[in-house]
Amino acid sequence: MKTGAVIIGASHAGTQAAAALRQSGWQDPITLVSNEGCLPYHRPPLSKGFLSGQQGEDQILLRGEGFYRDQQITLLNGREVQQILPDRQTVEVDGATLPYEALILATGAVPRRLSLPGSGLDNILMLRTLADSRLLKEHLRDAERIVIVGGGFIGLEVAATAAKAGKAVTVIEAQDRLIARALPPLLSGYFRDLHVQNGVAIRLNARLDRFEGEGGRVSHVLLAGGERLAADLVLVGVGSDANCSLTAQAGLAMEAGGILVDAYCATSAASIYAVGDCAAQLNTHTGAVMRVESVQNATDQARALAAHLTDKPLPARGANWFWSDQYAAKLQMAGIVREGCDGLLRGDPQSGEFTFLQMMDSRLVAAFSVNRAGDHMAARKLIASRARLDRTMAIDPAVPLVKAVVEMEKA
Ligand SMILES: Cc1cc2nc3c(=O)[nH]c(=O)nc-3n(C[C@H](O)[C@H](O)[C@H](O)COP(=O)(O)OP(=O)(O)OC[C@H]3O[C@@H](n4cnc5c(N)ncnc54)[C@H](O)[C@@H]3O)c2cc1C
């Protein structure tokens, strides 16, 4: 009997890998193991529509229950893989042994924890899972003063949701600007102003010292300079690390903080693959081995792996893309922020609709669009085709971005 594919983790990467395997004609069994006790769901709404109450749990499912049955995908829900035994091509799942022909690690990422005094107090929360978001939503209802540690995407999306609900919100960021890892300074400044206009206090260059509590619950956040901020609720959003708890014992090669994979998502061990947030792969646009934490990366890698395992041609890899919703601003990013680029501004940030283009040797390498979905869709194609742009046309928001192309390397 064929042992089939075993997929560890049933989120964006794992569920897409299962679906894409079936779509590509994989006939053998597929077992999807999830340690979350619910049907696989979209993670982005956890800090946006689900947290604000605009979307219910049934509206954020990746696939309906019938999908797994119809596609003959065995979903082992609420079950955890404890160990991989590569020599025997098996995994241990809660005391049972599961053999595999192909093992796909889609174990994602885990949020970084703080180890400051008081970090263990109640009402200091993190956000990664549906259970986390349910808890945060519940606590947000009664809290009035919310301190968010970390001015990255998750922290700022939660800040926007809480501010819209009328809460007093303070964001503490250790760097001198917001979302510094993913955005150029112009966009960091735009989002700082947007939050300030919505009543959020932003503390840049701020160092946390400790948390203080009363009755086991957090009551104050202390900064290194001695400042004491009152808080009914603290959300810690200081980034995440690849979930590699199974990989050390399996002896898989690691790089850039993730499980090293090749263009086909194969790890250093035979018949073991990794996709999504846990995987580190050579990015053909930046030339660096990196982990990319986005839904697009998770689904694209899963599709590429399914093609490889079913002997189909690899789908063409497009540009990386990502989005974030804060207040009425829909930020859509294409490409990856780079050092040493020059920037072109298309449109006026004051109008709430603009695109910031990052150029390298006249080629478009990244584009950050706020409420300009057309620019974003065009930029994805132009970055993938390594297009050169005419600068004068590119900065004119009345001219479609594709009209600014002077040369394309790939069709
Ligand atoms: C609040 C939030 C908002 C986000 N917003 C956006 C956004 O707007 N746009 C965007 O592109 N991206 C966004 N992201 C990032 C995006 O959700 C991730 O890049 C994506 O979820 C990665 O998918 P994944 O399948 O690789 O990993 P994950 O989604 O982390 O899933 C991994 C799964 O594996 C399970 N697992 C781990 N170990 C085991 C084990 N041993 N046994 C069984 N199961 C296991 C985990 O519990 C988890 O369910 C957001 C993330 C968060 C947390």
pLDDT tens sequence across 189-236: 999 999 999 999 999 999 999 999 999 999 999 999 999 999 999 999
Span 133-161, average pLDDT:
98
Q: Are residues 83 and 141 in the same domain?
A: no
Q: Determine which residue's CA is closest to atom 22 belonging to ligand 1.
A: 277
Listed residues 238, 265, 291: the one ending a domain: 238
CATH for 15: 3.50.50.60
In a domain, 201, yes or no: yes
Same domain as 232, residue 120: yes
Please check whether residue 194 lies inside any domain of the structure: yes
In a domain, 149, yes or no: yes
Atom of ligand 1 nearest to the CA of 79: 43
Question: Are the C-beta atoms of residues 85 and 92 closer than 8 Å to each other?
Answer: yes
Query: Could you say which of 238, 267, 286 is where a domain stops?
Result: 238
Same domain (yes/no): 355, 300:
no
Confidence grade of residue 179 (pLDDT, cut at 50, 70, 90): very high
Note whether 105 and 248 are same-domain residues. yes
Specify if 377 maps to a domain.
yes
Does one domain contain both 126 and 177?
A: yes
% of the chain at pLDDT higher than 70: 99
Residue 316 within a domain: no
Residue nearest (by alpha carbon) to ligand 1 atom 29: 11
Over 60: is that where the pLDDT of 411 sits? no
Residues 121 and 214 placed together within one structural domain of the fold:
yes
Cβ–ligand 1 contact at 325 (below 6 Å) = no
Say yes or no: CB of residue 259 within 6 Å of ligand 1. Answer: no
Whether the predicted pLDDT of 238 surpasses 70: yes
| Ligand 1 centre distance from Cα of residue 88 (Å) | 28
CB 47 near ligand 1, within 6 Å: yes
From the CA of 133, give the closest atom in ligand 1: 1
Nearest CA to ligand 1 atom 7: 44
- Say yes or no: 18 and 55 in one domain: yes
Pocket test for ligand 1, best of 295, 331, 380 (most atoms within 8 A of CB): 295
CATH number for the domain harbouring residue 349:
3.30.390.30
Same domain, 100 and 173: no
Q: Is 265 in the pocket of ligand 1 (CB under 6 A)?
A: no
CA of 107 to the centre of ligand 1 (A): 8
Residue 21 belongs to a domain: yes
Residues 339 and 390 both lie in one domain:
yes
Structural domain includes residue 314: no
Q: What is the mean pLDDT of the chain?
A: 96
Q: Are residues 147 and 233 in the same domain?
A: yes
Q: How confident is the model at residue 3 (pLDDT cuts 50, 70, 90)?
A: confident
- Number of compact structural domains in the chain: 3
Distance of CA 125 from the midpoint of ligand 1 (Å): 17
Residue 372, domain extent: 328-407
The residue out of 216, 238, 260 marking a domain boundary is: 238
- Comparing CA positions, the residue from 101, 102, 96 lying closest to residue 80 is 96
Q: What is the mean pLDDT of residues 298-310?
A: 98
Residues 254 and 400 both lie in one domain: no
- Please name the residue whose Cα sits nearest to atom 42 of ligand 1: 80
The pick from 7, 11, 93, 322 for probing ligand 1's pocket by mutation, whose C-beta has the most ligand atoms within 8 angstroms, reads 11
Tell me which residue has its CA closest to atom 33 in ligand 1: 9
Atom of ligand 1 nearest to the CA of 13: 25
Does a structural domain hold residue 320? no
> 109 CB under 6 A from ligand 1?
yes
* Whether residues 99 and 130 fall in one domain: no
